[in-house]
Amino acid sequence: MRIRRALAALCGSALLAVAGCAPADEPAGRDGVAGTVTVFAAASLTESFRTLGREFEAAHPDATVTFNHAGSSALAAQITQGAPADVFASASPVNMTTVADAGAVAGTPYVIARNQPVIAVPKGNPGRVAGLADLARPGVKVALCAEQVPCGTAARTALATAGVTLTPVTLEQDVKGALAKVRLGEVDAALVYRTDVRPAAADVDAVEFPEAAVAVNDYPIAVLTDAPNPVAARAFVELVRSDRGRAVLAAAGFQQSGRG
Amino acid sequence: MTVPADAPPRRRRPGQRVPVALAVPAALGLLFLVLPLIGLLARTPWDSLPQRLTAPGVLTALRLSVQSATLATLLCLALGVPLAWLLARAQFPGRRIVRALVTVPLVLPPVVGGLALLLVFGRRGLLGQWLDTTFGVTLPFTTTGVVLAEAFVAMPFLVIAVEGALRGADSRYEEAATTLGAGRWTTFTQVTLPLIAPGVAAGAVLCWARALGEFGATITFAGNYPGRTQTMPLAVYLALETDLEAAIVLSLILLTVSVAILAGLRDRWIGHP
């Protein structure tokens, strides 16, 4: 991330005018938070974690945050295979359990957010989808996530609850893949998370449905046992759990988790 | 250096020893290519192999993979050989640009290739829109879509191999045929093609292998649905989400089948001089 350097440059020029952009007389990284923090986070956390990463780097000028965003199960596999990660934020407790069972989680994971499935439709809703039942209508092309990834599990739970059986045209490898098919207008609907629709609002509308309540997903976060930078890792997790972190996640469309 | 006047000139390479400066990097290169394969073999769950081989969906994905890669190769042969001929033999302005354009799929990340295909052949794409309204044909999420995605990614391999063969071939045979009254088409089918057959075969093999392993363009353009568009690489990727060992077994099946087919073809086509 080049953000830190850019910020430092910005502060440098600002210092000429106003003394007191960064605490220049303070020894940098006094709290021991320095170096690189590598955060493996679910694809759906991309936007909110980018914001938090920038704020983290501003608060700790000696620290840099690097993100690896992918499907949670792929990330879990990478971590159990020894990828050098400091923090894991998963879109489902299942993948966190996989990592914890491998002895890779230090302490207890915290739930930082909850995400609710919605039906994403192309702008203008050409398939006139108003609820889950419409997805089974003939001629309505639907993209779901594969059942191996969390958004696929959530979709199956929601559909089963609604008693709807349908044949999707594709089972996507992750939620962004499903959303991309909606954005391009290749499908009339896809089951994704509420947070995925926000950044795509220019091309995509969200249709909420009552059965979503049973398929709400918890997002746990944890510092990893083999974290190369545990101090900074804990500081990042603290930021995500702070009121500021909650506000950023809420702005991205996540629902608040219970305190804890 | 003196050579006895009566002795035939010796063509033997000086000694049979490979220079160290070549042998060491060559061995390292081989190791680099083979070690990951050994890594796969080392983690293969041999005890549960039989059950996993017969697991539902495995054969379907394998059959779909082999079929679509073969169809993609046939499509590439039909379009790619004439294209290679054009690049190697015909004089026209902008030939260098055309040659550069042919290699675009090689440098394009396959996912971007798939996206580009959607923008052209998709339901709202440049041509796809017309196909949909005129003929009611939509290509994404179909097996035809898989073949198209694979052909897009694999065709440059064939074109480059065939163009190389054409440039290496002695054009005097073609000139002789023309002198003897053969038309351009007759010359092409009766003289040029037999001349470059080994190059075409090698290109087709490369093309088929690339199509068989295709992942990014396929999942982006054709999606992933078992029996329709889920090829082996897609099945491997999704197995990786939950079950590392299943993914390893699927990869091994794909490797074994492709190596067996390629080795078999090699003996039949490329083997004889």
Q: Is B114 on the interface with A (CB under 8 A)?
A: no
> What pTM did the predictor assign?
0.77
Query: B158 or A11, which is more confident?
Result: B158
Residues of A in contact with B43 (CB under 8 A): none
Q: Is B58 on the interface with A (CB under 8 A)?
A: no
Tell me: pLDDT of B264 over 90.
Answer: no
Buried b (16+ CB within 10 A) or exposed e, B10-28: eeeeeeeeeeeeeeeeeee
Residue A228 is classified by DSSP as S
- Structure confidence at residue A14 (pLDDT): 41
Contact of A159 with A131, CB cutoff 8 Å? no
Tell me: pLDDT of B7 over 70.
Answer: no
Per-residue pLDDT tens digits for B69-122: 999 999 999 999 999 999 998 889 999 999 999 999 999 999 999 999 999 999
| B95-102 vs B58-89: helix crossing angle, rounded to 10 | 170
Query: B219 or B261, which is more confident?
Result: B219
Rounded Cα gap, residues A120 and A106, in angstroms: 36
Contact B118 A186 (CB under 8 A): yes
| B193-212 vs B143-168: helix crossing angle, rounded to 10 | 140
**CA closest to B132 among chain A residues:** A186
- Structure confidence at residue A10 (pLDDT): 44
- Structure confidence at residue A8 (pLDDT): 46
Rounded Cα gap, residues A9 and A15, in angstroms: 10
Residue B232 is classified by DSSP as H
Q: Is A173 on the interface with B (CB under 8 A)?
A: yes
Contact of A218 with A257, CB cutoff 8 Å? yes
- In DSSP terms, A111 is beta-bridged to A220
Is A110 a known ligand-binding residue? no
- Structure confidence at residue B6 (pLDDT): 54
Handedness of CA B236, B224, B214, B268 (dihedral sign): positive
Residue (of B150, B148, B164) closest to B202 by Cα position: B164
- Structure confidence at residue A142 (pLDDT): 96
Contact B244 A148 (CB under 8 A): no
Domains in chain B: boundaries:
56-270
Q: How many beta-carbon contacts under 8 Å exist across A and B?
A: 64
**Residue range B123-128: mean pLDDT, rounded:** 92
State the nearest Cα–Cα gap between A64 and chain B, in angstroms.
28
Tell me: pLDDT of A149 over 90.
Answer: no
Contact B223 A181 (CB under 8 A): yes
Domains and CATH numbers, chain A: 3-22+36-113+219-251 (3.40.190.10), 117-215 (3.40.190.120)
Rounded Cα gap, residues B169 and B162, in angstroms: 10
Alpha carbon A241 to chain centroid distance? Answer: 14
Buried b (16+ CB within 10 A) or exposed e, A191-206: bbbbbbbbebeebbbb
And the tokens for B91?
Answer: 């004089």
Place of tokens 């909420």: A208
**CA closest to B116 among chain A residues:** A184
Collapse the DSSP code of A124 into the 3-class scheme (helix H, G, I; strand E, B; otherwise coil) and give the result: coil
**HSE on the CB side for A86, CA within 13 Å?**
19
Average pLDDT, chain B: 88
Domain B56-270 has CATH 1.10.3720.10: yes
- Structure confidence at residue B197 (pLDDT): 92
pLDDT interval class at A148 (50, 70, 90)? confident
**Residue range B161-185: mean pLDDT, rounded:** 91
Per-residue pLDDT tens digits for B208-258: 999 999 999 999 999 999 999 999 999 998 888 778 888 899 999 888 888
- Structure confidence at residue B241 (pLDDT): 74
Per-residue pLDDT tens digits for B14-59: 557 889 999 999 999 999 999 988 988 998 888 888 888 888 788 8
Residue A107: left (phi > 0), alpha (psi -120 to 50), or beta?
A: left
**Residue range A242-251: mean pLDDT, rounded:** 94
And the tokens for B126?
Answer: 């440049």
Residue (of B216, B8, B184) closest to B86 by Cα position: B184
Backbone angles phi, psi at A125, to 5 degrees: 50, 65
Contact B241 A149 (CB under 8 A): yes
Per-residue pLDDT tens digits for A164-204: 999 999 999 888 899 999 999 999 999 998 888 888 889 99
Q: Is A180 on the interface with B (CB under 8 A)?
A: yes
Q: Is A148 on the interface with B (CB under 8 A)?
A: yes
**CA closest to B236 among chain A residues:** A173
Rounded Cα gap, residues A198 and A200, in angstroms: 5
Contact A149 B118 (CB under 8 A): no
Q: Is B119 on the interface with A (CB under 8 A)?
A: yes
For residue B145, CA distances in Å to A101, B28, B117, B219 come to 40, 39, 9, 10
Rounded Cα gap, residues A152 and A138, in angstroms: 21
> Of all residues in chain A, what percent carry a pLDDT higher than 90?
65
Handedness of CA B157, B159, B161, B162 (dihedral sign): positive
For residue A56, CA distances in Å to A49, A168, A238 come to 10, 41, 10
Q: Is A149 on the interface with B (CB under 8 A)?
A: yes
Nearest CB to A169: which of B115, B223, B237? B223
Is A204 a known ligand-binding residue? no
And the tokens for B122?
Answer: 């998709």
State the nearest Cα–Cα gap between B151 and chain A, in angstroms.
20
Tell me: pLDDT of A147 over 80.
Answer: yes
Tell me: pLDDT of A6 over 80.
Answer: no
Is A175 a known ligand-binding residue? yes
Average pLDDT, chain A: 86
- In DSSP terms, A119 is beta-bridged to A191, A207
Helices (H) and strands (E) in chain A, counts: 9, 10
